[in-house]
Chain A
Amino acid sequence: MGKKLLLKNDHITGIQGYDVYRREGGYASVEKALKTMTPEAVVEEVKKSGLRGRGGAGFPTGMKWSFLAKPPGVARYLVCNADESEPGTFKDRYLMERIPHLLIEGMITSSFALGANTSYIYIRGEYYYVARILEKAIDEAYANGWLGQNILGSGYSLDLYVQVGAGAYICGEETALLESLEGKRGNPRIKPPFPAVAGLYGCPTVVNNVETIAAVVPIVNDGGDEYAKVGIGKSTGTKLISASGHINKPGVYEIEMGITVEDFIYSDEYCGGIRNGKKLKAVVAGGSSVPILPAHLILKTSAGEKRLMSYESLADGGFATGTMLGSGGFIVMDEDTSIVKNLWNFTRFYHHESCGQCSPCREGTGWMEKILHRILEGHGSMSDVDLLWDIQGKIEGKTICPLGDAAAWPVAAAIRHFRSEFEDYIKNPKNIRDVKHYYRLNNLVEA
């Protein structure tokens, strides 16, 4: 069994409630930080831990915190990004639903470190029921003196609120999230200024993912150095992986970074292998936006080394032969999966979720979907593949926010690794019919 730092207590009965959580050692990090540490010391521990943002970008958290501007007399904010919307990702919901106090505890400790006296958890609207769980936990934390004025007599005060969104993938992008939190349309902001200088209400703001903030708890409890001992290289600590698709045991797994991809897919501790004895065809390793890799490249790098579950190993080979750890949304596809149709499904998603601000993304995502749809309808032409390639290249890195990249990468990777499948559909449209109704529920067949 690998080491668990976040989910070690997730199956204890009653861990959702304050009493059990506290009994199991909860809120120790708040006690330690507020009573024995300065905010700077907490930031220092986070720096030492090597923790990297768990939302997808993997930016070092300690560094992000140290960028926070601190003009005198200006409020600072910590905003937790619980807008988990990247297809294939559901770890934050799991964590918040199972151990809500872990997030609350992390928010208090982190807010203290950043000098924020008001913090918000922005949670996607569809998770309304999870927001209720968090609100209950917050009420308990207030009742037990972990929130409010002069916490533990330290002189530090914090108010924490949960804010629900209302259905927009784009609000997972931090500046769109801030716009939404201000009661506006979720249009990403141009940068600079970055949120660390002018974020929520124009004040210095840090936006961190749920898992990132939760990881601050063990870091403060055990020290940054201890945390850094877990994992491999610059991929320190553990990572929550959301495993889904054609596997025997879908679910959320906390892994120690550095286990092999092969182990993760095939061992019984994790995914338990491909369903129905099928063969592995491809994996999207870090949420729908990261490049899809065919079986041989996900299991081994192009140099023939075993691919590991870590930031560096998954990225080995760049986009030519590698991918990204991303949000840890691990989507597994078996041998019968149509890559073209899967890609169409993804592009439809990005078209639906584009905010509409930047012209390449607003128009380009639509055209990518349309062209793929045309291919799937049997009306594709060979130049369509090149056109797709062209469009994605004009979106990637050419938009205000990374949604453009997220929409472009899957297209590029699918063409890069599975070009022949596209060409086959275009040359032999009748082959499409075979996949059109492939996806059926188990034990149920209805025409």
Chain B
Amino acid sequence: MSKIAYIDNQPFEMKDGETILSFIKRNSGEDLVPTLCDAPNLDPYGACRVCSVDVALKSDGPVKAQASCHTPVMEGSYIFPSTPRITKLRKNIVELVLTDHPLDCLTCEVNNNCELQTVAAKVGIRDVRYPAGKNHLDKKKDLSHPYMTSDFSKCINCARCVRACDEVQGQFVLSMAGRGFDSHIIKGMNTTFNESDCVSCGACAQACPTSAISDVFESKSVVPQEKVRTVCTYCGVGCNLDVAVADNKVKSIQAPFDADVNEGHTCLKGRYAFSFYDHPDRLREPMIKKNGKFEEVSWDEAYDFIASRFTEIKKTYGPDYIAGISSARCTNEENYLMQKFMRVVIGTNNIDSCARVCHSPTAIGMQRTFGTGAATNSIIDLQYTDCMMVIGANPTASHPVTGAKMKQVAMKGKTLIIIDPRKTELTKYAQFHLQLRPGTNAAVLNMMLYYIIKEGLEDKAFIESRTEGYEEFKKEILALNIPELEKVSGVDRNLVRDAAVAYASAKNAMSFHGLGVTEHSQGTFTVMLIADLAMITGNIGRRGVGVNPLRGQNNVQGAADMGCQPYQGAGYLDLKDPEVISKYELFYKSPFPKEIGYKIPEMYDASLNDRLKAVWIIGEDLVQTDPNTHHVKKALEKLDLLIVQELFMSETAKMAHVILPGASFLEKSGTFTNGERRIQRVNKVVDPVGNTKADGQIIVDLMNKMGYPEPDYDPAVQLKEISGIVPFFKGVKWEELGINGKQWPVLEDGSDTEILHLDTFKRGKGKFIHNAFKETAEIVDHGKEFPYIITTVRELEHYNSGVMTRRTRNSRILKEDVLLINPEDARKNSIGDGELVTVESARGEIVIKAKISDEMKSGVMSTTFHFPEIMMNVITSSISDSEAKCPEYKVVACRIRKK
């Protein structure tokens, strides 16, 4: 039986537990009841009382004013949202609020887009009956921060900012201090934004109904009609952004509340770090290096040059002497075109992408165990899980919106297990922190599997019905030498056991992993062990469980999906299979290369061995970001043709023969696929700056130049082609993606998939594969001589090589790379905080500033590689994952001395 309540005597069906406000909004429109302290992404607060409505419990019963935002609808109640009594009440309350608010609307940044102003107008306030009294209008503005601003004379004490800081970001920087009329918002211990621990996520500014908290871009001054919705390019979360644009310029960015992915939230990169796009440093014209100097040329000249050189090299040496590196920063359509160019136009499988250096082991490891190399579940599953296990990932810095959600879940009492050499921010919220020595993930995961079996916590029914290879696997696990594993990992076996028990006994347990898993010599094997853990405990195939890689780049999932890897074509079809080759040949109506191509690290070796002559790189700074810089440089120097398609003059671009200026994500359309397999629409916000072009158009132009007819870059067109060859894109249509996109596999009828492997695995049965711990060669070969381990990480403020974020105000917040060093190690080496340290590995040495911190255990150090000044990768090694060739950035044996 449906339950009924009445609005102005009209009956409407009500939902259980629904508030009066949502009941009214659902049935009588969003704008009928004005509100001030209510916000779409915050819990009801009930403090402004502007949302009051009259409620009678029966027809013609006595009415009582109730705050609709938090009061549940009572069955059979009669709600009167706008009686004269209520209208007057609202007017008087807002009038009271206005007695302590400056009446300078006309000069205020949010004039015409201010919630207080709107509500005041709506309730019909003409003037305020109170004389000037004691107020807070003399409060000083805070302009200390690169992004955040405050002017608390405009504060109406609705606490939306405080709640956003607590409930959305979980940072607890803002609070209400004082009491009553003296209550006021504070930052930290009553300091400024700049001095506080603010992470500049901007949630407070977006939440503030006035301009009491805002930002330097005055993002709240823009009405929705002047906004374009697109997808952020700074990580695999895939936040939707509302970009305000005027006169073909980006003004500011906010996070839309109706975005499934980020629900009105985003981080400082997504919200504020956009000004790189028209930075004076942007490459604006094609350039060819002539006599050692870059000269601007026309597109045609650049295309002709490239086409003739490619043709020549192909003719002289063969197509396999040419390679392409596509970009996980680019759209699906562009990646698709790039692999098509290499395979069909050039005729080689030498196509790879930066997925190689991040999640290639995930793809391989999960394909081998489950059959699909992608996250099994969705971020929304965090709402349903009882236990989160985070391995080798620092989501609050690298995937901030997901990290913030994890904090909220942990604060609600859900179990959190962290396996990481660093005391990451999340460890503060964790029940278990397994602070292992870098490079020993496999050891710790093996121990966990051991204890789960020992304690009899396996999900026998799941193992029986859904998996294979368990008996053999179990034997190998039970034969493990636990004391030895305890010793190598440095994690107490009891702690490992307790964490294993917590994971195995949770009703629904979800694992997340990042590059701290993949960027190791045992990366793929570690991913398999994570999959083993999920299978042995039956945590696959429903809400709140699964194995969920936290994808590093915005479209790293898509780059792999589209076939930018040398051994699988578009849609992960295995190129070793002759039937697959025939399928592609039929589809492209063209011969298709049969030899497996080079992975990126293999390209360097090939070049040094004279087996590779030309490389076209899109959007990747190999010199700064790939390991063992000297080796990379040598390999690139040896090439006859190096084409770099970039936004800025990166370290790699400097070595190029031809530079092609690409367009940034703000200047083009297409789709990105986020870490939960969600294909979302990227919409062009502004025209490409200068003479730049969308990467996809550049590829298309070159295809045509090389004699292969290809229509102009248009996501709708390319998506249609993709849907014809990539099986899990079958039902994807540009015009049907909507504002929230679709999660693949998308079936022909357009329906999509939140959770994979529901009843059966993609490969049929899930396969248990045991992989024993093996010490990395880096430690075996160099551990004695270089006794410290350095591991590379990222910080919240910058994105990878930093080419974009360093050209925004983010560089005022985080100015340099530093070496995090444990106090004990610092003391032993007489290194003081802020002093320069020489860090030396078997490959080379760098000089870097020390920051003493207990974030790292003794013997382990960490640093970032956001700034080219340091060139951290001079010291990293060429060792890579045995299966996927993902470099081992995370373990570098080194020694240190004070400079």
Contact = CB atoms under 8 A, between A and B. Distances in A.
Interface of A: 168, 185, 190, 192, 351-360, 362-367, 370, 387, 390-391, 394, 397-400
User: Which DSSP category, helix, strand, loop or mixed, fits chain B's interface?
Assistant: loop
Given A190-B44, A362-B181, A370-B134, 18 more contacts: A352-B180, A354-B180, A354-B181, A356-B157, A356-B182, A357-B183, A358-B46, A359-B47, A360-B93, A360-B96, A362-B180, A363-B181, A364-B96, A365-B180, A391-B92, A394-B92, A398-B65, A398-B89
Nearest to A192: B72
B65 A397 contact: yes
B96 A399 contact: no
Given A363-B99, A366-B134, A356 B44 contact: no
User: Which DSSP category, helix, strand, loop or mixed, fits chain A's interface?
Assistant: helix
Contact of A391 (B50, B64, B96): B96
A185 B179 CA distance: 9
Contacts of A399: 49
B738 interface: no
Contacts of B97: 359, 363
B828 interface: no
B49 A355 contact: no
B176 A356 contact: yes
A403 B446 CA distance: 59
| Residue of B72, B93, B100, B179 with highest tally of chain A CB at under 10 A | B179
B156 interface: yes
21 contacts: A354-B180, A355-B180, A356-B176, A356-B181, A357-B47, A359-B48, A359-B50, A359-B97, A359-B157, A362-B180, A362-B181, A365-B180, A366-B133, A366-B180, A367-B99, A367-B130, A394-B89, A394-B92, A394-B96, A398-B89, A400-B46
Interface string B37-66: 000000011111110100000000000110
A370 B133 contact: yes
Interface of B: 36, 44-50, 52, 64-65, 67, 70, 72, 89, 92-93, 96-97, 99-100, 129-130, 133-134, 156-159, 176, 178-183
A4 B183 CA distance: 45
Contacts of A355: 179-180, 183
Given A363-B96, A398-B89, A190 B45 contact: yes
A355 B46 CA distance: 14
Contacts of A394: 89, 92-93, 96
A377 B511 CA distance: 69
B45 A356 contact: no
B55 to A, nearest CB: 12
Nearest to A371: B130
B562 to A, nearest CB: 48
Contacts of B48: 358-359
Contacts, number: 90
A335 to B, nearest CB: 33
Contacts of B46: 190, 358, 400
| Residue of A192, A352, A363 with highest tally of chain B CB at under 10 A | A363
A168 B49 contact: no
| Residue of B45, B64, B100, B180 with highest tally of chain A CB at under 10 A | B180
B49 A398 contact: yes
B72 A353 contact: no
A190 B133 contact: no
Contacts of A190: 44-46, 67, 70
| Residue of B46, B52, B99 with highest tally of chain A CB at under 10 A | B46
A368 B820 CA distance: 58
A73 to B, nearest CB: 14
A222 to B, nearest CB: 39
B267 to A, nearest CB: 28
Query: Which 6 pairs of residues, A with B, have the shortest CB-CB distance?
Result: A356-B183, A363-B96, A354-B180, A190-B46, A356-B180, A394-B92
A367 B133 CA distance: 8
Contacts of A352: 180
A363 B49 contact: no
Contacts of B36: 359
A358 B48 CA distance: 5
A70 to B, nearest CB: 21
Contacts of A360: 49, 93, 96
Contacts of B100: 363
Nearest to B177: A185
B98 to A, nearest CB: 9
Contacts of B179: 168, 185, 354-356
Contacts of B67: 190, 400
A398 B159 CA distance: 18
Nearest to A188: B46
Contacts of B72: 192
B79 to A, nearest CB: 16
A359 B156 contact: yes
Nearest to B52: A398
A356 B178 contact: yes
Contacts of B156: 359
Contacts of A362: 157, 180-181, 183
A356 B183 CA distance: 6
Contacts of B182: 356
B181 A366 contact: yes
B180 A351 contact: yes
Contacts of B159: 357
A85 to B, nearest CB: 14
Contacts of A358: 46-49
A76 to B, nearest CB: 18
A305 B269 CA distance: 75
B661 to A, nearest CB: 54
A390 to B, nearest CB: 6
| Residue of A357, A364, A391 with highest tally of chain B CB at under 10 A | A357
B65 A353 contact: no
Given A190-B45, A190-B46, A391-B96, A351 B65 contact: no
A362 B96 CA distance: 9
Contacts of B181: 351, 354, 356, 362-363, 365-366
Nearest to A185: B176
Contacts of A168: 179
A356 B155 CA distance: 13
